[in-house]
Amino acid sequence: MKVFTLEDGRVTEGAAIQKYSPCAGIEFPAIIIGENGRGRKLGILPVGGTEGGFLRSATIGTTRKGGPKLLSSSSTTEEDCIIVFRSPIGFRGGNSHTGDRYHAPCGDAGEEVKFHPWPGKNLVEGRIAQGDAGAMGSGTQIVAVMPSGVVFRVAYTGRRYDSPKAHYGLFDGQIQVMTWSDRQVADMW
């Protein structure tokens, strides 16, 4: 599967691999998301078949304890992809990951905007936060397998100033990312 990184609407092909050292004398390559500390969570996804650098395609394996592990591969199937969601948060805000939006009937009031469930299969989750104990704001970062042709959404709360409140994406061999207004103008998916 192809591997991508999505951060605040920007797509990068591949994902950075870092060295993770859980204790002295032990070190292994991994994709690391989230943060350490109170109100935070570090998400560690081990990577085999490479010592570092950048992972462009991978298959999913398992660790000795049965957890997920990525294995460097030259396979680039178009059915699914792996996305590292380095989703930010607004000042004193959070984030959410959902499926595409739709309009649902709302009694006499007409319709309301709702969102389909998250279409991805999460491999690992991390948590970022603001403030000493994460109480000012916090959000999730995810590494997930995403199916082809299914729209996903990353929304941000808190003060974002001139940045969008949400990005919508779709994998169709590559990752396309747009805001809701851009989707309306382009009349896409």
- pLDDT tens digits, one per residue of 83-112: 999 999 999 999 999 999 999 998 887 889
H or E stretch including 2? strand 2-7
As a whole number of angstroms, the distance between CA 132 and CA 31 comes to 25
Give yes or no for a contact between 160 and 169, defined as CB atoms under 8 angstroms apart.
no
For 54-117, the DSSP string reads EE-BEEEEE-TTS-EEEEE-S---SSEEEEEE-----BT--EEEEE-EEEEE-GGG-EEEEEPP
Q: Which residue has the tokens 């870092």?
A: 18
pLDDT at 81: 97
Does the pLDDT at position 42 exceed 90? Answer: yes
> What mean pLDDT do residues 144-150 have?
97
In which band, very low, low, confident or very high, does the pLDDT at 134 lie, cut at 50, 70 and 90?
confident
pLDDT at 77: 76
Does the pLDDT at position 23 exceed 90? Answer: no
As a whole number of angstroms, the distance between CA 176 and CA 47 comes to 26
**Torsion-angle region of 134 (φ positive above 0: left; ψ -120 to 50: alpha; else: beta):** left
Does the pLDDT at position 76 exceed 80? Answer: no
For 79, residues 6+ apart whose C-beta sits below 8 A from its C-beta are 1, 147, 148
